[in-house]
Structure 1
Amino acid sequence: MRTNRLLTALAGAALLATAFLAAPQATAANTWAPAATAKIHPGTMMYTEGAQCTANFVYTDGSGNAYVGYAAHCAGTGTATDTDGCQAGSLPLGTRVTFNEGGSLIDEGTVVGSGTLVYSSWVTMHRLGTTDANTCAYNDLALVKVDAADVSKVNPSVPFWGGPTGIDTDGTAAGDRVWTYGNSSLRFGISQLSPHTGISLGDDAADGGWSHPLYTVSPGIPGDSGSAFLSTDGKAIGVLSTLGLAPLPASNNIGDIAKELAFAQAHSGISGLTLVNGTEPFDPVL
């Protein structure tokens, strides 16, 4: 979740405050920055009215606009324990968001780009009057449209690991490996602590495939919310959302990206919305 709210969540052990395959290369309207020098990418810090989360994936639309995703609760206006997106408050669409590097508890680091919140699953579920409990609990995706002046700074590859190579649509089984890159300001810019890997705890059929509980070493911490998770073949599985109590303490729950993106495609009004594959091959070196 947002850093300033997740500190409260961790204290209560309730919430981590915090289809559709795209071409592996840039769209005709976009030429991605080289992965090694791109300033905006999966894993970039994102600040919304002072609260910090982590970017997950890059997305495009039919017109070639570029979007970066994070968790919808990163723009939430309630408390750290507000996990029901159909009930919790949110900042409005049109809210400005910055992409930063080097942020910490002391300051927000350096702004490397800007964008506008143009889609929030929370705002959308409010508008639609969504009542399905699993959708309300786990549909936690927002999209920030990158300013035209900053699109040339974007690359869709996940740092350290590479990928994504597509979108996972069959969930996870107990013991499946997962890979992620969190970028919490609580790590004080120590990039070596950002890439980590973990193990799925097995999906629960009761939630309709909306959530994937897992355990990572080290666990996701405040500010990691919204970050991307990849499968053993580099496919996008989900977006970091909550901190769980069971079956293991400090386990994490990620929202299913295939379901979250399908919901956005149906209700965002963004024509041709797709998740973009990385330009760098997936390489799970750990």
Structure 2
Amino acid sequence: MAIRTTLRRSASLAAGTALLGALMLAAPGTAVAAPVWAPAAQATIHPGIQTETDGSGQCTANFVFSDSSGNVYIGQAAHCSGTGAATDTNGCDAGTLPLGTKVTLVGSGVTGEIAYSSWNTMQGRGETNADACAYNDLALVKIPAAAVSKTNPSVPFWGGPTALDTNGTTTLETVLSYGNSSLRGGITQLSPKQGKSLGTEGNGWSHSVYTVTPGIPGDSGSAFLDSTGKALGTLSTLAIAPIAGSNGVGDLSHELAYAQQYGGIAGLKLELGTVTFRGPLLPI
């Protein structure tokens, strides 16, 4: 049996570590203009920023999303608003904060709120799919309309995403990520990670991966890209056994499809990066 733990950096761990304009909503039946992004180099809200969830802990944002009403969201792991122990990884019965919980988007001066959580949704529906319960770990933080002008959907260092990955991964396929745990003390050179997938599990819901340095508490929710820059998934867990040091990455195509079907957000979609994907740095 796999033993996993979430990678939320809890408030107690943090305490012990010394380390434009408004987006207008269109009237019913009218087209909604696409978001106007800040230049990537100037954006303070983007994949890879730290998030601080009230009453929970610090995580890392993954991708940017939008809906048909013109609202914009940034993703984090659903367990970032969990209220239980780090080993509570089953989203169908783990304690979780309610929708509307405030989330600080660190470094931007902006506070958003949780508009969707796979954990809350699965519990509300009485979800019985064991794979979804174990691996569906996505939350969406609504960005205030006035702060969309501070936002860019590009993944730092790597660029992209170029599209949504819908094919999963094969064994030893190259994967790329960007973690931003506060435990690194702001050393951004340690944030980009490259590694290999050990393949898909959970009937497509998850991927076990090894990276040059594994994800650590505070990296939870980090975006993962495949070798072509497609949005693969979101960092969810650190495996303790049977393969110690590997990370569990929730499959974004499954997570997003679930949110689209059950999350109550019309027209929800992934936003693509404005920065050209640079590709893997190490031999693949």
TM-score class, shorter? 0.7 to 0.9
Structure 2 counterpart of 1:231, from 222, 226, 229: 226
8 Å CA contact retained: 1:5, 1:79 = no
1:121, distance to aligned residue in structure 2 (A): 0.3
The correspondence for 2:236, drawn from 220, 235, 241, is 241
**Does structure 1 residue 171 correspond to structure 2 residue 168?**
yes
Answer whether contact 1:6 1:80 (CA < 8 A) is retained: no
What residue in structure 1 maps to residue 27 of structure 2? none
In the TM superposition, what is the alpha-carbon distance from 1:247 to its structure 2 partner? 5.3
Q: Aligned with 2:199: secondary structure?
A: coil
Match among 108, 118, 122 for residue 121 of structure 1: 118
Q: Secondary structure at the residue paired with 2:248?
A: strand
Distance 1:137 1:269, change over 3 A: same
TM-superposed deviation, 1:226: 0.3
Indicate yes or no: 2:182 matched with 1:185: yes
Percent of counterpart pairs with the same letter?
61
Query: In the alignment, what sits opposite 1:259?
Result: 254
Contact 1:6-1:222 at 8 Å conserved across structures? no
Map Cα deviations across residues 196-230 of structure 1 (whole Å, 9 max, x no partner): 111011223xx110010010011100000001000
The alpha-carbon deviation at position 132 of structure 1 amounts to 1.2
- CA–CA distance in structure 1, aligned partners of residues 11 and 255 of structure 2: 23
| 2:282 pairs with 1:283 | no
For 2:158 and 2:52, locate their aligned partners in 1 and report how far apart those are by CA, in whole Å. Answer: 24
The whole-number CA distance in structure 1 between the counterparts of 2:11 and 2:262 is 28
Quote how far apart the aligned CAs of 1:285 are.
Answer: 5.0
Partner residue of 1:52? 58
* Partner Cα distance (2:133, 2:178) in 1: 26
Distance 1:136 1:216 in 2: 25
1:46-72 CA distance string (max 9 Å, x none): 000251000000000001111000000
From 70, 77, 97, the equivalent of 2:103 is: 97
| SS of alignment partner, residue 89 of structure 1 | coil
CA contact (8 A) 1:40 1:112 kept: no
SS in 1 for 2:257: helix
Q: Distance in 2 between the 1:69 and 1:161 partners?
A: 18
Output the CA distance in 2 between the equivalents of 1:117 and 1:153: 19
Query: Does residue 1:68 correspond to 2:65, yes or no?
Result: no
CA distance in 2, matches of 1:64, 1:169: 25
5+ unaligned residues in a row in structure 1: which ranges?
Answer: 8-26, 102-110
Q: Unaligned regions of 5+ residues in structure 2, if any?
A: 1-6, 14-31
Distance 2:109 2:186 in 1: 15
- The alignment covers a number of residue pairs equal to 257
Q: Distance in 1 between matches of 2:234 and 2:242?
A: 19
CA distance in 1, matches of 2:155, 2:34: 21
Report if aligned partners of 1:57, 1:69 keep a CA contact under 8 Å in 2: yes
Contact 2:195 2:212 in 1 (8 A): yes
- CA drift of 1:114 comes to 1.5
Could you say which residue in structure 2 is the equivalent of 1:108? none
CA contact (8 A) 2:194 2:280 kept: no
Q: Measure, in 2, the Cα distance between the counterparts of 1:211 and 1:76.
A: 19
TM-score, scaled relative to structure 2: 0.87
Alignment correspondent of 2:245: 250
Please show how residues 125-164 of structure 1 align to structure 2 within 5 Å: 125-164=122-161
Give 1 or 2 for the bigger CA radius of gyration.
2
Deviation at 1:77, TM superposition (A): 0.8
Pair 1:34 & 2:34 matched: no
The equivalent residue for 2:92 is 86
Q: 1-side partners of 2:122 and 2:171: how far apart?
A: 31
Q: Partner residue of 1:20?
A: none
